């Protein structure tokens, strides 16, 4: 069911630039400070294409971050900063990392290839969370301007026996490229160009269903772009190049990293919610209102690590609410919460984040689905300490610390055709942007 293809990737030329200086975290994980650091690291750092600084462009002359991105991408190819592979390839991609907050070292193994774009209704590709409006508009403008994909959609497939990893990694020699990112994660890449190995992978993936782990916005953007650029009748079919299949047309596929969801290298971190700019928010009033659905316990500690420790020890649905007046542990009351969530599918009723969004954000704070979708009063943070500090600095009214979603929960929700709230999962580490680039022309 899942169709994958090798491709002639554009890659940074190691004889001209150091990989360490030019690759980046995904665009939506680049903070303003990181953006500035990437700019300073190299004049060819990918941030100049995927997340350019608006103040550097002359809008009166028709310049924008998107037109400059297109010019840079074209120039870097002409200058040999980027070089294209001679043959269609797939790339084995390994990430070795320390699990945040622990001394545990893990390795996540996957591979980069093109993946055919499917409507969700075809039940080949499954989403697991809602998307936000703003990122899709931004990514569409970049795609329209540059006609290229710079980062990979993170896809999960099921392979309990690990047979696909064996095809890729058994007998693998030294990596063709490697770099260590800002978080100490070692990224390694091996080029696979042998047609027989590629055909083995293509066959092994043919019966797989895929879940989007990261990249919902970019997937939906690429899908819409693909439909807009579908060739006129008669419809094209897949073609064969160098003994391997190619997409029916360039826009019919997008660059993906495929990872076995049954492997031990997957780590999901929580994404905390920070609420700001509320009208007349009062911590005491909020705590009293919350008592309808939760037992509310004031917490004496002031450290984010202690809040997380208390949270992870809870058996049922629970959150820590941080306000300027102090912190509260909210533990769900089963019957009132069940009644409040009765309108949701059963699988979603079991999720902590469904409770947080439907009851706390919507009912108690007045942030309906549209406000959440447009991020009117809501920010999402991985770092619990930063979430707490934003409240204490007066930059937010209340922060909610949450437990992570488990892989089994994600599988059940996605394959049932349901979706979780936005930003439900944070897979760690992120896939680097710029390791491979897929140009549509």
**Could you tell me what percent of the chain has a pLDDT over 90?**
80
Q: What is the pLDDT of residue 235?
A: 53
**C-alpha 186: how far from chain center:** 18
Q: What is the pLDDT of residue 205?
A: 97
Q: What is the pLDDT of residue 50?
A: 97
Q: In sequence order, what DSSP letters do the residues of 42-100 get, joined into one string?
A: -TT-THHHHS--GGGS-GGGT--HHHHHHHHHHHHHHHTSEEE-SS-BEEEEEEEEEPT
Domain 271-403 classified CATH 3.30.1760? yes
Task: Confirm whether pTM is higher than 0.75.
Answer: yes
Distance, CA of 164 to CA of 154 (rounded, Å): 16
Cα distances from 118 to residues 41, 269, 426, in angstroms, run: 38, 28, 23
Neighbouring-strand partners of residue 258: 111, 155
**C-alpha 38: how far from chain center:** 20
The tokens describing 220, both together, are: 């939906």
Query: How open is the CA angle 41-387-347, to the nearest 5 degrees?
Result: 110
**SS3 (DSSP) at 102:** coil
CA dihedral 308, 312, 313, 319 (to 10 degrees): 70
Neighbouring-strand partners of residue 91: 112, 191
Distance, CA of 386 to CA of 391 (rounded, Å): 9
Distance, CA of 437 to CA of 112 (rounded, Å): 10
Q: What is the pLDDT of residue 244?
A: 81
Q: Phi and psi at residue 94, in whole multiples of 5°?
A: -115, 145
- For β-strands 294-299 and 244-246, DSSP reports them as unpaired
Distance, CA of 349 to CA of 145 (rounded, Å): 42
Percentages (nearest 5) of helix, strand, coil residues in the chain: 35, 25, 40
pLDDT digits (tens, 9 = 90+) for 51-62: 999 877 666 677
Q: Digits of tens for pLDDT over the chain (441 positions)? A: 899 999 999 999 999 999 999 999 999 899 999 999 999 999 999 999 999 998 776 666 778 899 999 999 999 999 999 999 999 999 999 999 999 888 999 999 999 999 999 999 999 999 988 776 667 788 999 999 999 999 999 999 999 999 999 999 998 899 999 999 999 999 999 999 999 999 999 999 999 999 999 999 899 999 999 999 988 755 566 776 667 889 999 999 999 999 999 999 999 999 999 999 999 999 999 999 999 999 999 998 888 999 999 999 998 999 999 999 999 999 999 999 999 999 988 888 889 999 999 999 999 999 988 888 888 899 999 899 999 999 999 999 999 999 999 999 999 989 988 888 888 889 999 999 999 999 999
Q: Could you state, in order of their start, the residue ranges of all structural domains in the chain?
A: 4-268+429-439, 271-403
The tokens describing 306, both together, are: 């202690």
Question: What does the buried/exposed string (b/e) look like for 140-176 if buried means 16 or more CB atoms within 10 Å of the residue's CB?
Answer: bbbbebbbbbbbbbbbbbebeeeebbebbeeeeeebe
Helix (H) or strand (E) holding 400: strand 398-401
Q: In sequence order, what DSSP letters do the residues of 296-337 get, joined into one string?
A: EEEE----HHHHHHHHHT-SSSEEEEEETTEEEEEEE-HHHH
Q: Phi and psi at residue 178, in whole multiples of 5°?
A: -155, 155
Q: Alpha-carbon torsion 431, 434, 437, 439, what sign? A: positive
**C-alpha 342: how far from chain center:** 30
């Amino acid at each position: 069911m899942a169709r994958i293809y090798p491709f002639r990737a554009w890659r940074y030329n190691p004889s001209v630039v150091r990989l360490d200086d030019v690759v980046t975290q995904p665009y939506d994980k680049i903070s303003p400070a990181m953006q500035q650091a990437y700019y300073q690291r190299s004049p060819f750092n990918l941030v100049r294409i995927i997340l350019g600084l608006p103040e550097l462009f002359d809008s009166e002359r028709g310049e924008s971050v998107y037109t400059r991105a297109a010019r840079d991408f074209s120039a870097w190819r002409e200058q040999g900063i980027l070089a294209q592979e001679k043959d269609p390839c797939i790339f084995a991609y390994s990430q070795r990392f320390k699990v945040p907050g622990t001394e545990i070292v893990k390795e996540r193994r996957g591979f980069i290839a093109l993946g055919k774009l499917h409507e969700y209704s075809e039940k080949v590709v499954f989403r697991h969370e809602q998307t936000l409006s703003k990122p899709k508009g931004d990514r569409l403008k970049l795609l329209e301007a540059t006609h290229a994909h710079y980062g990979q959609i993170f896809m999960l497939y099921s392979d309990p026996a690990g047979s696909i990893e064996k095809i890729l990694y058994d007998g693998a020699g030294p990596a063709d490229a490697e770099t260590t990112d800002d978080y100490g994660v070692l990224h390694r890449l091996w080029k696979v160009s042998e047609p027989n190995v590629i055909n083995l992978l293509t066959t092994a993936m043919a019966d797989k269903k895929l879940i989007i782990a990261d990249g919902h916005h970019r997937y939906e953007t690429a899908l819409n772009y693909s439909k807009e650029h579908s060739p006129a009748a008669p419809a094209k079919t897949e073609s064969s190049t160098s003994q391997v299949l190619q997409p029916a047309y360039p826009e019919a596929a997008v660059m993906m990293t495929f990872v076995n969801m049954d492997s031990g290298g997957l780590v999901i971190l929580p994404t905390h919610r920070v609420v700001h700019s509320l009208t007349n928010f009062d911590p005491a009033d909020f705590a009293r209102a919350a008592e309808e659905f939760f037992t509310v316990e004031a917490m004496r500690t002031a450290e984010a690590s202690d809040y997380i420790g208390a949270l992870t020890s809870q058996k049922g649905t629970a959150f820590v609410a941080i306000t300027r007046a102090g912190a509260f542990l909210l533990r769900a009351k089963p019957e009132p919460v069940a009644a409040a969530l009765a309108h949701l599918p059963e699988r979603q009723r079991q999720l902590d984040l469904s409770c947080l969004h439907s009851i706390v954000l919507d009912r108690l704070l007045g942030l309906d689905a549209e406000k959440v979708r447009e991020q009117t009063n809501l920010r999402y943070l991985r770092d619990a300490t930063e979430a707490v500090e934003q409240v204490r600095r007066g930059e937010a009214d209340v922060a909610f610390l949450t437990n992570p979603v488990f892989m089994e929960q994600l599988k059940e929700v996605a394959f049932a055709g349901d979706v979780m709230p936005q930003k439900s999962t944070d897979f760690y580490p992120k896939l680097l942007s710029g390791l491979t680039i897929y140009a549509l022309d």
